[in-house]
Amino acid sequence: MLAPALVILAAFYAYPTLQNLALSFTDLSLLRLKRGGNWVGLDNYREFLASPDFGHILFNTVIWLTALSVVLRLLIGLGMALLLHSPVLRRMRLSTVAKLAILVPWATPPIVAVVIWRWMLDAQNGIVNAVLLRLGIVDNPVAFLANLRTVWPSIVTIIVWNTVPLVALSLLASLQSIPDELNEAAALDGASRWQQFRHITLPFLVPTITVLTLMSVFWTFNNFVYVWLATGAGPGTYTNVLATEVYIKAFVDFRVGYSSAVGMVMALIMAIFGVVYYRLVAPRELASSL
Amino acid sequence: MQRWMRNLAAALLGLACVIAVGSATAQKTVNLTFRFNDTEEKEMRAALDEFEKRNPGIKVALQRIGWRDARDQYLREAAAGQGPDVVHVAQVWVKEMGDAGALLPLNDLMKQAPLPNAGGFNDFVARELAQNKQGQIFGLPWTTDTWAMVYRTDVLKEAGITKLPDTWAELHDASAQITKRTGKAGFGFPAGGSASGAIWFLANYYWWSNGKAMVVQKPDGSYGMNLTAADIADSMRYFKSFLTEGHNPTSNLSASDAHDPAILQALVTGKQGIGTMPPNTYKQVLETYAAANPGKPLPFVSGPFPKGSVTRTSNIGGRMLGINVNSKNPAEAWKLVEYLASEPIFTKYYTTQFPAQTSLLKKVDFGKEMQGFAEQLGYARTWGPYSDGPAPIGAMWNATGRAFSAALSGQRTEQQAAEELLDNVAKLMKTRGQ
């Protein structure tokens, strides 16, 4: 029974991974694909880990790209879910419209989302600059995606805008599964809104948040599209992350072997994160919610 | 019954004949794919339609791809036994693609079906970029050009500038004066660092005009660098000054190509006074302005690049056509290449480009607005040691773009970025770009 699954797993996961691992020990170049690469042992790993850019790329990937955007996504998603679940929207008969509206960013393909935001953030013709100038918040147009102070917040904004609906809708589904009687009983016992949220709502949401965190971290850490399309890892290499480094080394600098080593480092980091998260964080959170 | 069966048999026989004839015709048709990287897709399709009319047994599918991804995508495909039959490549890519086994040597095809023009292959410019040291020819030069400066005459007038800048210092001053007196952008150049970025050209023109070069051939025939970190940092400081002093909008830090829409739009609408670009991009600017302002005289003039301490210069650039080493129909692909390099293509279809044949180039009427390009061609040089030397031009191009972008954006100091670039290029020279 398991054989087809094992075959598929071997063909589409194990083989490419092992092939990539083998390439990472060579100096294969895109200009020498037919001839193959020479064995260089751990040279590619040594060069990457000792490179002055390694710390910068890792910081960008872990802090800016992943941690910040995942935390913001969860917080904003939670806020949106609570708003969608609140009786206020239902009373105003806006509940369905609001649910449909938040689906729009989720239904927008990332490439389209980035292109839309690039135009909106454009210094010369973008609507964001037009509004900021009109309101007198800035004196001169801001090149959001070219300025070192604004480029990361801009990328994080694009990612969060495009991906927050999934978090919001997932949490909304969890909220709708909480029996109303629990909150009603707590209110009768004198619990404040905050206490109800802290001791009833949040524990119910923890399993969903745990899974969403894990999935979001994997998706975001490995994501290439947002950074590459928004800035091309620039200005300079300021927004370079591990995924764009893999691409740059393979398809811009043609160093396929080196790029494979960077890819293996990425996979290793995610594997360690996954193990730690499952062993330490997830069981505790899941246990405490039960 | 018998009659009915006879009729059925006759009908089946007729059908079989039709299928047989159809399949024989289909077998005779050769299907080619031409991958084209410029924006003139409609015009090129019309040219290919004409080719198909002249060659009834050949059908050509046109693929359009952007320059940015063209090089690596083709190399990947060719290595996997795939890719288009005829491919549009930058002149400086040809040798490395040929040596990588991605392009078919054209020598035999040229012997079997010689080029129809007088002078044959010798009539083409940039031949040294098409062949390796063993004499294998991997591409046919198709178009040629060089970059030049482009000015909005009305903006210059508004800023009180009466003569075109002659030196790099004068260019800087003119740019500053435009912004100071008109509030418009001065010299708006793409300052981003993505692959195939334009800053590579500007940096080299600046170095060459001051007697420096990233790659030189030494008297003993070996190759080396004739640039110090100080030279590179000086050029970075020069170009950065346009951004820090506000003549070049900082948004151009995210623009890498000469044909970036924001820069072209600024020139067309008169929000920017000075630009630099290849002739096909300039022609698009002129056409866009003319379409938006029918009947109005064109407020543009082109001029040569500023002088440095030694000379003024730029590179002879352009594109070539190559045949995929995996093509199943190389003879027909060569026929297409010969057709695409013929005179009517440049006079009727691909009119934004200059032909790479010297004899055809002499016939080109540059017109008043394009005079600067004609003048600049006289100063232009080939990549020479860059293309013959040990490091692939593409890799040096990318490293230079990233280093300049890091310095111009403030990510690194000019000195840091210059030293990193020097190290990277030294490594590339040593390892042949891996």
The predicted-structure confidence for B248-270, as pLDDT tens digits, reads as follows: 998 898 888 888 888 999 999 99
Nearest to B202 by CA among B306, B340, B347: B306
State residue B434's pLDDT score.
38
B266/B403 same-domain check: yes
Cα B273 from Cα B281, distance rounded (Å): 16
User: B410 contacts in A (CB within 8 Å)?
Assistant: 148
User: A35 contacts in B (CB within 8 Å)?
Assistant: 101
Q: Mean pLDDT lowest for which of A59-63, A285-289, B239-243, B400-404?
A: A285-289
Indicate the pairing of strand B86-90 with strand B317-323. Answer: antiparallel
B158/B90 same-domain check: no
Nearest to B253 among A30, A35, A146 (CB): A146
Determine, yes or no, domain membership for B396. yes
Helix axes A43-50, A52-59, angle to 10 degrees: 70
Contact flag B100-A34 (C-beta cutoff 8 Å) = yes
* pLDDT over 70, % of chain B: 92
Q: Mean pLDDT lowest for which of B21-30, B138-147, B218-227, B261-270?
A: B21-30
Nearest residue in B to A129, CA atom: B251
B287/B168 same-domain check: yes
> Which residues of B lie closer than 8 Å to A, measured between beta carbons?
72, 75-76, 79, 96, 99-101, 192-195, 249-254, 256, 262, 265-266, 271, 392, 394-395, 398-399, 402-403, 405-412, 417, 433-434
Determine, yes or no, domain membership for B16. no
- Could you give the C-alpha distances from A98 to A82, A159, A171, in angstroms and in order? 12, 20, 15
State residue B22's pLDDT score.
54
Contact flag B252-A146 (C-beta cutoff 8 Å) = yes
State residue A61's pLDDT score.
97
Contact flag A254-B75 (C-beta cutoff 8 Å) = yes
State residue B320's pLDDT score.
97
Provide mean pLDDT across the span B332-357. 93
- Pinpoint the alpha helices (H) of A177-255: 180-188, 193-196, 202-221, 225-231, 242-247
Q: The whole model's pTM is what?
A: 0.85
Q: Is the pLDDT of residue B27 over 80?
A: no
Determine, yes or no, domain membership for B179. yes
Contact flag B250-A143 (C-beta cutoff 8 Å) = yes
- Could you give the C-alpha distances from A198 to A88, A203, A205, in angstroms and in order? 20, 8, 11
pLDDT confidence band for B23 (50 / 70 / 90): low
Each residue's pLDDT tens digit, A259-277: 999 999 999 999 999 888 8
Q: Mean pLDDT lowest for which of A86-100, A139-153, A250-264?
A: A86-100
Contact assessment for residue A57 and residue A241, using Cβ atoms and an 8 Å cutoff: yes
Contact flag A252-B250 (C-beta cutoff 8 Å) = no
B405/B330 same-domain check: no
User: B96 contacts in A (CB within 8 Å)?
Assistant: 31
Determine, yes or no, domain membership for B2. no
Cα A182 from Cα B422, distance rounded (Å): 68
B111/B156 same-domain check: no
Contact flag A237-B402 (C-beta cutoff 8 Å) = yes
Nearest residue in B to A236, CA atom: B406
Neighbours of A254 (CB within 10 A): 26
State residue B15's pLDDT score.
65
B306/B173 same-domain check: yes
Contact flag B411-A236 (C-beta cutoff 8 Å) = yes
Instruction: Provide the residue range defining the domain that includes B163.
Output: 148-312+374-431
Chain A contact probe: residue of B242, B251, B411, B421 with most A CBs at under 10 A: B251
Class of the CATH-defined domain A43-289: mainly alpha
Each residue's pLDDT tens digit, A116-172: 999 999 887 899 999 999 999 998 889 899 899 999 999 999 999 999 999 999 999
From the CA of B152, how many Å to the nearest CA of chain A?
19
For residue B28, give the 3-state DSSP assignment. Answer: helix
Determine, yes or no, domain membership for B14. no
Contact flag A232-B256 (C-beta cutoff 8 Å) = yes
Respond yes or no on whether the N-terminal peptide bond of residue B392 is cis (omega within 30° of 0). Answer: no
B340/B248 same-domain check: no
Query: What CATH number should be reported for the domain holding residue B181?
Result: 3.40.190.10
Contact flag A234-B79 (C-beta cutoff 8 Å) = no
Determine, yes or no, domain membership for B329. yes
Angle at B407 between CA B403 and CA B412, to 5 degrees: 95
Q: Is the pLDDT of residue B135 over 60?
A: yes
User: A235 contacts in B (CB within 8 Å)?
Assistant: 192-193, 253-254, 405-406, 408-409, 411
pLDDT confidence band for A282 (50 / 70 / 90): low
* pLDDT over 90, % of chain B: 69
Q: Is the pLDDT of residue B403 over 50?
A: yes
From the CA of A131, how many Å to the nearest CA of chain B?
17
Contact flag A32-B100 (C-beta cutoff 8 Å) = yes
The number of C-beta contacts closer than 8 angstroms across A and B is 116
B299/B349 same-domain check: no
B140/B153 same-domain check: no
Contact flag A143-B251 (C-beta cutoff 8 Å) = yes
pLDDT confidence band for B194 (50 / 70 / 90): confident
B281/B419 same-domain check: yes
For residue A274, give the 3-state DSSP assignment. Answer: helix
pLDDT confidence band for B368 (50 / 70 / 90): confident
Nearest residue in B to A232, CA atom: B194
Q: Is the pLDDT of residue B28 over 90?
A: no
State residue B389's pLDDT score.
86
State residue B112's pLDDT score.
95
Provide mean pLDDT across the span A47-60. 95
State residue B2's pLDDT score.
59
Pair of tokens at residue A127: 């609507």
E strand or H helix at B332, and its extent?
helix B330-340
Provide mean pLDDT across the span B187-193. 91
Indicate the pairing of strand B148-152 with strand B140-145. Answer: unpaired
Contact flag A146-B192 (C-beta cutoff 8 Å) = yes
Q: Is the pLDDT of residue A24 over 80?
A: yes
B408/B285 same-domain check: yes
Each residue's pLDDT tens digit, B286-315: 999 999 999 999 999 999 999 999 999 999
Indicate the pairing of strand B86-90 with strand B30-36. Answer: parallel
User: B70 contacts in A (CB within 8 Å)?
Assistant: none
Contact flag B254-A145 (C-beta cutoff 8 Å) = yes
B93/B70 same-domain check: yes
Contact flag B251-A122 (C-beta cutoff 8 Å) = yes
* pLDDT over 70, % of chain A: 97
Q: Is the pLDDT of residue B366 over 80?
A: no
pLDDT confidence band for B433 (50 / 70 / 90): very low
From the CA of B71, how many Å to the nearest CA of chain A?
9
Contact flag B392-A31 (C-beta cutoff 8 Å) = yes
Determine, yes or no, domain membership for B18. no
Number of domains in chain B: 2
The domain locations on chain A are: 43-289
State residue A271's pLDDT score.
92
Nearest to A148 among B75, B398, B409 (CB): B409
